[in-house]
């Protein structure tokens, strides 16, 4: 029998022998051999961290790097959580750092402020020795800051995506395994009320055997090119030079956890990706009279307005992942999960389940019918913390629920809800989609960041 080339347990020599029978076909998939042979060894002394629970921390010494629009909200919410000792605030812009630190101080903390140059964060790590570092900086800085934080003895928590390249993702995995420190990508959407409800329904077996998911981030954001010192000031250059799905995780994270990808049941296998022509941002830049950077008008935007990627899992299940931050269309993350008994979907919320919803074969259950069923399956964590989350805010409360849960896990010595491998798998759609688009849709194989250990990693439980 020919070994499965996607199986992480296939020995190298058998795998290479198996390739001989497929030479012609695999010649068209140049990423396959490299992706499968580079994942076989773990550094000496390193340990797999899939279900890893770090030692309990009575108080969690917290520091944050980057307190712009995103990080300032994180700082304020973290400072409100019991068990946090906020010890450091860092931003390259001194005014932002001082403002965020003042807000943290009002909540009873005494953080040191670090600013003035691009290396101030390294000084902060050395001086305040935090237990946990939260990173809300531009995308290319996530990986080096995560790695440095772990090497300094801290758990690292990064905004999405966790890294910029596959090599950086491997560096993050290797460092986490060697240091025994968590590195979690903070995918806040996994803590949305609907996403938690759907996770609970899937775990209860309501949908039967899962078959297909749809995930997206469709959000018209060309206006960020007019917002001065904000996300658009640096993201705009990403859109100009990269062509693929640059922001996959908000939609993909929940769907991946519904399917328990990289956790016992199944895993990411390969991806194909296509982009539409790049039109919208070039047109917007020429029409706008309010561009925050005049250079935007001279950029030749290469990134297609809409990217569609299809992921195939080891079990043969499929996920469609779309990204569009350009065209003027309604916001959606799709959030669709389909099984042998029916489907759940978002935007708007709806479901069709055999034996559960009325007229399931004729139309979706929406409105009151959807709510009655969803209320029955409300996730225990949202039932416990949802009202406080709504009060504290942050994308309807999901930000606070995520941050509270992180601190709770660190204090109780529990495994995190999102492990380091998941952050890398979800983020890997970015560079893999770019490569597939460049190669006219050729399949790209996901590296197995777990080195085969996903088969022994428990699915995310329904925590109370």
Q: What is the pLDDT of residues 435-453, one digit of tens each?
A: 999 999 999 999 999 999 9
Looking at residue 275, what is its pLDDT? 98
Q: Which CATH number fits domain 60-185: 3.40.50.720, 3.40.47.10, 1.10.10.10, 3.40.50.300?
A: 3.40.50.720
Please say if the pLDDT value at position 31 is more than 50: no
Residues above pLDDT 70, as percent of the chain: 91
Q: Which CATH number fits domain 190-456: 3.30.360.10, 3.40.50.1820, 3.40.47.10, 3.30.300.90?
A: 3.30.360.10
Please say if the pLDDT value at position 432 is more than 80: yes
Q: Enter the pTM of the model.
A: 0.92
Q: What is the pLDDT of residues 32-53, one digit of tens each?
A: 434 444 555 898 999 999 999 9
Please say if the pLDDT value at position 30 is more than 70: no
The region of weakest confidence among 54-68, 86-100, 203-217, 228-242 is 228-242
| Average pLDDT across the chain, whole number | 92
Please say if the pLDDT value at position 20 is more than 80: no
Extents of the domains making up the chain? 60-185, 190-456
Q: Which of 59, 54, 52, 51 is nearest to 78 (CA)?
A: 59
61/84 Cα distance (integer angstroms): 6
CA Rg value for the chain: 22
124/319 Cα distance (integer angstroms): 41
Residue 144 CB neighbour total at 10 angstroms? 18
374/196 Cα distance (integer angstroms): 10
Q: What is the pLDDT of residues 362-408, one digit of tens each?
A: 899 999 999 999 999 999 999 999 999 999 999 999 999 999 999 99
196/138 Cα distance (integer angstroms): 28
Looking at residue 39, what is its pLDDT? 58
Residues above pLDDT 90, as percent of the chain: 88
Give the CA-trace dihedral at 436, 437, 442, 445, to 10 degrees.
Answer: 10
Please say if the pLDDT value at position 460 is more than 80: yes
Q: How far is CA 350 from the centre of its chain?
A: 24
Q: How far is CA 79 from the centre of its chain?
A: 23
Phi, psi of 401 (to 5 degrees): -60, -35
For 90, the enclosing helix (H) or strand (E) is strand 84-90
List the Cα angle 190/192/195 in 5-degree steps: 65
* Longest alpha-carbon distance in the chain: 67
Q: Give 4's pLDDT tier (boundaries 50, 70, 90).
A: very low
Q: How far is CA 244 from the centre of its chain?
A: 16
Looking at residue 82, what is its pLDDT? 98
Q: What is the pLDDT of residues 93-133, one digit of tens each?
A: 999 999 999 999 999 999 999 999 999 999 999 999 999 99
DSSP symbol at 417: S
Please say if the pLDDT value at position 336 is more than 90: yes
Top pLDDT among 40 and 314 is at 314
Q: What is the mean pLDDT of residues 425-442?
A: 98
Residue 364 CB neighbour total at 10 angstroms? 17
Q: What is the mean pLDDT of residues 229-250?
A: 95
Top pLDDT among 176 and 6 is at 176
For 282, the enclosing helix (H) or strand (E) is helix 280-287
Looking at residue 41, what is its pLDDT? 85
Q: What is the pLDDT of residues 154-170, one digit of tens each?
A: 999 999 999 999 999 99
| Contact between 167 and 405 (Cβ < 8 Å) | no
Which distant-in-sequence residues (6+ apart) come within 8 Å of 264 by Cβ? 454, 455, 456, 457, 458, 459
Please tell me the total number of residues recorded for the chain in this structure.
464
Please say if the pLDDT value at position 2 is more than 60: no
Q: Give 361's pLDDT tier (boundaries 50, 70, 90).
A: confident
Q: Give 186's pLDDT tier (boundaries 50, 70, 90).
A: very high
Q: What is the mean pLDDT of residues 77-97?
A: 98
DSSP symbol at 165: S
Please say if the pLDDT value at position 191 is more than 60: yes
Phi, psi of 260 (to 5 degrees): 55, 40
| Contact between 240 and 326 (Cβ < 8 Å) | no
87/130 Cα distance (integer angstroms): 7
Q: What is the mean pLDDT of residues 333-355?
A: 98
């Amino acid at each position: 029998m020919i070994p499965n080339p996607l199986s992480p347990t296939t020995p190298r020599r058998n795998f290479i022998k198996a390739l001989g029978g497929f030479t012609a076909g695999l010649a068209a998939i140049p990423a396959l051999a490299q992706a499968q042979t580079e994942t076989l060894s773990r550094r000496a002394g390193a340990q797999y961290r899939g279900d890893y629970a770090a030692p309990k921390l009575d108080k969690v010494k917290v520091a944050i790097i980057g307190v712009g629009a995103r990080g300032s909200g994180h700082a304020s919410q973290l400072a409100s959580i019991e068990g946090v000792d906020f010890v450091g605030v860092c931003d390259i812009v001194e005014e932002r750092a001082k403002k965020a630190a003042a807000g943290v101080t009002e909540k009873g903390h005494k953080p040191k402020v670090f600013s003035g140059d691009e290396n101030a964060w390294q000084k902060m790590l050395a001086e305040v020795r935090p237990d946990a570092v939260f990173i809300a900086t531009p995308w290319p800085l996530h990986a080096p800051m995560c790695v440095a934080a772990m090497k300094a003895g801290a758990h690292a928590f990064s905004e999405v995506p966790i890294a910029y390249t596959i090599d950086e993702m491997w560096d993050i995995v290797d460092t986490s395994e060697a240091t025994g420190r968590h590195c979690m990508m903070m995918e806040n959407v996994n803590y949305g009320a609907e996403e938690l409800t759907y996770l609970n329904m899937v775990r209860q077996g309501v949908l039967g055997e899962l078959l297909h998911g749809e995930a997206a981030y469709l959000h018209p954001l060309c206006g960020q090119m007019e917002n001065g010192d904000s996300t658009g000031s640096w993201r705009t250059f990403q859109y100009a030079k990269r062509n693929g799905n640059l922001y996959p995780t908000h939609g993909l994270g929940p769907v991946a956890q519904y399917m328990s990808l990289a956790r016992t049941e199944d895993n990411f296998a390969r991806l194909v990706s296509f982009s539409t022509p790049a039109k919208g941002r070039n047109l917007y830049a020429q029409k706008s009279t309010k561009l925050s950077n005049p250079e935007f008008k001279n950029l030749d935007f290469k990134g297609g307005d809409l990217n569609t990627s299809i992921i195939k899992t080891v079990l043969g299940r499929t996920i469609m992942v779309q990204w569009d931050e350009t065209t003027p269309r309604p916001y959606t993350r799709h959030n669709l999960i389909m099984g042998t008994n029916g489907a759940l979907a978002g935007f708007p919320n709806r479901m069709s389940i055999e034996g559960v919803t009325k007229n399931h074969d004729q139309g979706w259950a929406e409105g009151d019918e959807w709510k009655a069923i969803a209320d029955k399956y409300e996730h225990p964590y949202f039932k416990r913390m949802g009202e406080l989350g709504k009060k504290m805010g942050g994308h309807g409360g999901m930000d606070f629920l995520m941050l509270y849960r992180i601190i709770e896990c660190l204090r109780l010595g529990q495994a995190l809800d999102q492990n380091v491998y998941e952050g890398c798998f979800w983020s890997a759609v970015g560079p893999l989609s770019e490569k597939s688009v460049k190669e006219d849709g050729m399949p790209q194989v996901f590296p197995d960041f777990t080195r085969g250990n996903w088969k022994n990693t428990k699915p995310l439980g329904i925590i109370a």
